[in-house]
Structures are given as structure tokens and as C-alpha cells.
Amino acid sequence: MRKMKISTKGRYGLRAMIDLAVNSNGGCASLAGISERQDLSLNYLESIFSYLKRAGLVIGIAGAQGGYMLAKPADEITLYEIMTVLEGDMSVYDKFGPTTKIRSFLNKNVWDVIDKNVNEVLTGTTMADVIKNIENNRLSEDCSAL
């Protein structure tokens, strides 16, 4: 079975942003720390964070205690913002090309429905939602060990 593919830039960037939000504690987190915790290439993260910085999603702070921090509160950053910066259009199909009856049917009844659902999940989920979910899962795992 073939899966819808999101590039490594999108997948790694989302992981890195979540790590940043979870581990910055209102301050900065280093890319080296994110790289180590997430087992991602530091050079690749630097490239990804240049996109995120240009888009105004993160702020880079220079110096010994520097690193990156979210540019706005976690409840104001949606997964949609992150993914469109890193992936571009999140549509599952190419909207260009000759229109046939079958293509029109599929666009309206299949691809547009998938796109709508993907967009609803991405626009309806903030970084704060993800952090809260991670924290709730940690509590559940801690409690299950008792």
C-alpha cells in the first residue's frame, strides 16, 4: 500500500518544533540539544530552522546561552503554519491538468474531502494542544508504572 508522503523536512521540522516547545521552558533551546534528543542531523536542522525563522515561527538568539525559541505563544502556532512553511501546499493532488468527468468526480468526492480533513486537523491543532497531549500521555505512563 502506498502512503501519502510528507518529506523529511516536514516530518523532522514538526518534531523539532515540538521538541523546542516542550524543552525550551520559556527560554531558548539549542539545535544541538534538539538534534541529540530527536536523533536528527544538526546540519539538516539548521536548514529547517532557517525556513522557520524566515516565516516568523522561531527566533534565533546568538551567544553562549542562545538557541531558538518560539516567536509567539504555543497556542498561536498551528501545525498548518509549520507544515505549509516546510512543505508548501498540503493538497494530496495536483489541481492542474486537463479536466475529465472522472477527474472532476475524484477531485470533488475524494481528493477535496481528504484535503479538507487534513486541513482541519492541521489548522485545528496548535503547538499548545500537542504539548498538552504529550504531558497527559507522560502522566498516564507515570501512573501506569505505579
Q: What CATH number does the domain containing 25 carry?
A: 1.10.10.10
- List, for residues 78-134, the tens digit of each pLDDT value: 999 999 999 988 888 767 777 889 988 998 999 999 999 999 999 999 999 999 999
Residue 81 lies in a domain: yes
- The whole domain housing 129 covers 8-144
The total of structural domains in the chain comes to: 1
Tallying the residues shown for the chain, one arrives at 146
CB atoms within 10 A of CB 143: 8
Residue 2 lies in a domain: no
Residue 1 lies in a domain: no
| pLDDT at 59 > cutoff 50 | yes
User: What is the 8-class DSSP label of residue 69?
Assistant: E
Nearest one of 123, 115, 130 to 15, comparing CA atoms: 130
Highest mean predicted confidence (pLDDT) among 3-7, 42-46, 105-109: 42-46
Residue 3 lies in a domain: no
Q: Report the alpha-carbon distance of residue 86 to residue 29 in Å, rounded.
A: 20
